[in-house]
Amino acid sequence: MQHTVVVGTQWGDEGKGKIVDTLARHADSIIRFQGGNNAGHTVVANGVKHAFHLLPSGVLHQDKTCVIGSGVIIDPLVLASELTRLTDAVGDKHAKIIISDLCHLIMPWHRIVDSITGGKIGTTSRGIGPTYTDAIARTGIRLIDTRDLDAFAELVRKQAKWYQSYIQLLLDFHQVPKAQQYQLVQSKELDPDTIVSSYVKALKHIAKIASITDTAHFLHQQAEKDVALLFEGAQATLLDITYGTYPYVTSSHPTVGGVYTGTGFRPRHLHVIGVAKAYTTRVGEGPFPTELNDDVGQHLLETGHEYGTTTGRPRRCGWLDLPILRYAKRINGLDCLAITKLDVLSGLETLKVATSYYIEDQEEPVFTPHAALLEKAEVKYESLSGWQEDITGVRSFSQLPKAAKEYIMFIEDSLKINVAYIGIGPDREQVILR
Ligand code: IMP
């Protein structure tokens, strides 16, 4: 059986949720393998907008199983309220949800540390980096540790004591003014008893709707039954801790390798779909060679509603960048591309596409994730004709305006890859399959 993974090819927010939702109809289980509630996936179903942060985007499919794999980190308070929102919206008409007991927990101190130190990266302040830091340092707390509540409380007490000192050290080191210190650290936030009771309450609520279990075992059993599995990446290639534009990255592996380590399952045949927006966006700091600080950038921001699902921050916008997609193709071994938000380009007279960079006078068709070199990149563009028509009602490739077809074919020819899906609007139905 061939399984599928959907990965982001740029800096995230490519519209992976919508593609996953489309593909979920043909899969038995949908699995997240990395990241946490820094992600934000929007799915519009029957005109209703659903924003997910931790739950896989396939969760609206009643007859499926959604899996949160071991590579995902979990803030139980956030997961509990996401599950409440889900059940408020659809009752019990959602997928079965199972969560790996090996997932690490985001604790209040991780969020505080992130708020103090994450500014220069422009993190989402959800505690992602500090939680993965503890996981790697072997000092983290996992879901499995909450089975024995006395042992869990003891772990929390020990960690809280250490973090109370460490956070004070960080506040002093970063010379955070006293008034701001009180905003960053609320009075009860590091109190172990308060943490244990709120976490236990959230976990009990989670256990009513989802099961916490050995998800790797579940996936192996599913594979033996010869059913299709769909792996859903959060964030994207250029935010990968190793292959992204370090240090302006997240702390997990959103690239295809994350599937193996973040699920405990090795799909034998894996079809890799890369999702790219028809232009480029990024949130947070770091280099962005095709960034537009002009009317076209404003058009992309407003027409594309480019505001973060998680933080509400306006996204930085720019032209499509082929060196980036070429790099993502290589790192992930992409089999095909899904191009989303093509409709956002409607109304622009001329479209520019980055075809290569000049770095220190040398033409570089291959993307470098080296942030300092990228800052120096001069971009070489190709100009293509735009189109004026509204394409949101189009349902087949042949109905697209000539210039829109040429835009897609230019991408295909340049990258030697098939564009198999084209997004032309936010609704579930607004996807052209080729
Ligand atoms: P963190 O994941 O919160 O540590 O943030 C690290 C970097 O990744 C920041 O630049 C964030 O803006 C970015 N980031 C994290 N999650 C997402 C996402 O889902 N979409 C886009 N950018 C993200």
From first to last of its 434 residues, the chain has per-residue pLDDT tens of 899 999 999 999 999 988 998 899 899 999 999 999 999 887 777 778 888 899 998 898 899 999 999 999 999 999 999 999 999 999 999 999 999 999 999 999 999 999 999 999 999 999 999 999 999 999 999 999 999 999 999 999 999 999 999 999 999 999 988 888 877 787 788 999 999 999 999 999 999 999 999 999 999 999 999 899 999 999 999 999 999 999 999 999 999 999 999 999 999 899 999 999 999 999 989 999 999 999 999 999 999 999 987 788 899 999 999 999 999 999 999 999 999 999 999 999 999 999 999 998 898 877 999 999 999 999 999 999 999 999 999 999 999 999 999 999 999 999 999 999 999 998 888 999 98
CA of 358 to the centre of ligand 1 (A): 27
User: Which pair of structure tokens corresponds to residue 252?
Assistant: 């997990």
Helix (H, G, I), strand (E, B), or coil: what is residue 74?
A: strand
pTM beyond 0.85: the answer is yes
**Does the Cβ of 123 fall within 6 Å of ligand 1?**
yes
Structure confidence at residue 374 (pLDDT): 93
Structure confidence at residue 244 (pLDDT): 97
Picking from 336, 342, 340, 343, the residue whose alpha carbon sits closest to that of residue 420 is: 336
**Does the Cβ of 12 fall within 6 Å of ligand 1?**
yes
Structure confidence at residue 133 (pLDDT): 98
CA of 41 to the centre of ligand 1 (A): 13
Picking from 315, 246, 250, 240, the residue whose alpha carbon sits closest to that of residue 277 is: 315
Cα–Cα distance measured from residue 142 to residue 100, given in angstroms and rounded to the nearest whole number:
10
**Does the Cβ of 297 fall within 6 Å of ligand 1?**
no
In angstroms, the Cα distances linking 244 to 159, 175, 253, 256, 367 are: 31, 30, 9, 13, 11
Helix (H, G, I), strand (E, B), or coil: what is residue 303?
A: helix
Structure confidence at residue 428 (pLDDT): 82
**Does the Cβ of 284 fall within 6 Å of ligand 1?**
yes
CA of 279 to the centre of ligand 1 (A): 18
Dihedral sign (CA 175, 178, 184, 187):
positive
Structure confidence at residue 48 (pLDDT): 82
* Nearest alpha carbon, ligand 1 atom 2: 250
> Residue type at 330?
R
Cα–Cα distance measured from residue 314 to residue 324, given in angstroms and rounded to the nearest whole number:
21
Structure confidence at residue 179 (pLDDT): 82
Structure confidence at residue 51 (pLDDT): 84
DSSP summary character for residue 107:
-
Picking from 317, 368, 364, the residue whose alpha carbon sits closest to that of residue 345 is: 317
Closest-lying ligand 1 atom to the alpha carbon of residue 129? 4
